């Protein structure tokens, strides 16, 4: 192994949201931050070297996206996902969320109905509300510690007149990597009702052994023509601060509309490090990613076995992808304020509390597993001690 994922890198005073920003969010000092979805690992060495070389060059003018940049993306989609895409399908965005916001603004009207599937990454709901569209929810079904799509409810909601469905694939926070059958049924229903699908696939490269991500638009030509796939190298290679994304739009009309919106908002210029990082990560980052996911998978096993032994009322919902662990804490029988107090004040651990992802997330926590094992171990011990102490104190009252 070339990368040292065990290294505990001090991220304080790096303008890090996860480390420097945690106290301001949770009003508590000295928290172990296992919240924001970025990694505590260094990005792949070839990416850092390419960026360092560019810094050494020292001239930071405006950028264009050159042939080699597009080729690197096309090759990655082919090698990683067995998906043949055309270079002209690739559109730029300074992030997945700005692209989704732009699409909602430009492809729909205020008051139009847009569907999401909670519990889900909160900005996917916020982007609908903040743009004055009507948020329609099709909650995922949770049975036997596993999430699936509720197709009966979906059918009902689509019948009400939905303009856009925002799919989170793989799903943050529940970790599902949607299968071919589920995706095909969902897409078919959208075709029948003339619904555009925005497929947020930012976690698509972060897949555990035995699972396979299927890009929505790779399923069929008909599905591709009504899909906008949002992708990025930023989650995959720990580059989210670089803020860049690839918005893949096979349909020419939709692509023209998107590009004109991007230009109208003067967002068409790439960040210097966005282009460098994208190209070098997709070209040279595959080995690092394999090592990283093998490491994260061991962290997942640790969390699972530790909780089974020490706090069996906290159950990991086994993820198929993402470096996030969605933990069902309902058997603890703590209400949200108690769970928050226990985690933040007693354990000094900062997860994301499930309610953030919608009311369906109440009683759950999301832990970030992309951290050195020593930090994960410390977090688990602190959480376990806090819960046992809290219970003992409650018994004595
Ligand atoms: C599902 C999902 N979409 C989008 C984003 C954010 O993407 P970006 O920083 O490119 O806007 C995240 C970040 O956690 C995410 O989990």
- When pLDDT is averaged across residues 37-49 and rounded to a whole number, the result is 98
- Given this model, what pLDDT does residue 2 score? 66
Q: Which atom of ligand 1 is nearest to the CA of 95?
A: 10
274 closest CA partner among 226, 228, 249, 237: 237
**Which pLDDT does position 223 carry in this prediction?**
98
Q: What is the mean pLDDT of residues 159-181?
A: 98
> Do residues 228 and 258 lie in contact, with contact meaning Cβ atoms separated by under 8 Å?
yes
Q: Ligand 1, closest atom to CA 100?
A: 11
Per-residue three-class SS string for 12-72: CCCCCHHHHCHHHHHCCCCCEECCCCCCCCCCCHHHHHHHHHHHHHCCCCCCCCCHHHHHH
pTM beyond 0.95: yes
Residue % of the chain over a pLDDT of 70: 99
Region 65-92: mean pLDDT is 98
Strands (E), 158-195: 164-168
Q: Please report the domains of the chain, with CATH numbers, ordered by start residue.
A: 17-44+286-388 (3.90.1150.10), 60-284 (3.40.640.10)
C-beta of residue 32 within 8 angstroms of C-beta of residue 1: no
β-partners of residue 353 are: 365
* Tens digits of residue pLDDT in 362-387: 999 999 999 999 999 999 999 999 99
pLDDT of residue 397: 63
Across residues 213-242, what is the average pLDDT? Answer: 98
Ligand 1 binding site (Cβ under 6 Å of any ligand atom): 37, 95-97, 121, 168, 172, 200, 202, 232, 234, 240, 245
| Mutate-to-test residue for ligand 1 from 99, 121, 173, highest number of ligand atoms within 8 A of CB | 121
**How far is 383 from 394, CA to CA, in rounded Å?**
16
Average pLDDT over residues 350-354: 98
């Amino acid at each position: 192994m070339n990368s040292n994922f065990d290294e505990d890198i001090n991220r304080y005073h790096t303008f890090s949201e996860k480390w420097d920003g945690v106290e301001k969010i949770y009003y508590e000092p000295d928290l172990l931050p296992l919240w924001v979805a970025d990694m505590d690992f260094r990005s792949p060495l070839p990416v850092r070297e390419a960026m360092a070389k560019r810094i050494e060059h020292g001239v930071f003018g405006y950028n264009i996206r050159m042939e080699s940049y597009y080729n690197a993306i096309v090759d990655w989609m082919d090698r990683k996902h067995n998906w043949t895409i055309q270079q002209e399908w690739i559109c730029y965005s300074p992030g997945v969320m700005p692209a989704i916001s732009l699409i909602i603004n430009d492809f729909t009207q205020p008051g139009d109905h847009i569907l999401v599937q909670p519990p889900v990454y909160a900005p996917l709901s916020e982007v609908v509300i903040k743009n004055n569209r009507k948020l329609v929810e099709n909650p995922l079904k949770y049975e036997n510690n596993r999430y699936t799509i509720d197709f009966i409810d979906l059918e009902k909601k689509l019948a009400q007149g939905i303009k856009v469905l925002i799919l989170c694939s793989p799903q943050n926070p529940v970790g599902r990597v949607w299968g071919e059958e589920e995706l095909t049924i969902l897409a078919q229903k959208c075709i029948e009702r003339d619904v555009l699908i925005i497929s947020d696939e930012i976690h698509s490269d972060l897949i555990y052994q035995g699972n396979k991500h299927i890009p929505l638009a790779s399923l069929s030509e008909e599905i591709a023509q009504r899909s906008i796939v949002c992708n990025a190298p930023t989650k995959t290679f720990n580059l989210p601060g670089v803020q860049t994304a690839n918005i893949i739009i096979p349909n020419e009309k939709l692509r023209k509309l998107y590009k004109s919106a991007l230009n109208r908002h003067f967002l068409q210029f790439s960040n210097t490090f966005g282009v460098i990082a994208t190209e070098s990560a997709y070209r040279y980052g595959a080995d690092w990613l394999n090592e990283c996911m093998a490491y994260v998978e061991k962290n997942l096993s640790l969390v699972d076995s530790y909780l089974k032994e020490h706090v069996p009322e906290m159950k990991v919902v086994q993820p198929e992808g993402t470096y996030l662990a969605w933990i069902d804490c309902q058997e603890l029988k703590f209400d949200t304020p108690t769970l928050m107090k226990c985690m933040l004040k007693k354990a000094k651990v900062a997860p994301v509390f499930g309610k953030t992802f919608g009311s369906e997330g109440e009683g759950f926590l999301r832990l970030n597993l992309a951290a050195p094992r020593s930090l994960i171990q410390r977090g688990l011990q602190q959480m376990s001690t806090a819960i046992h102490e809290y219970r003992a104190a409650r018994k004595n009252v």
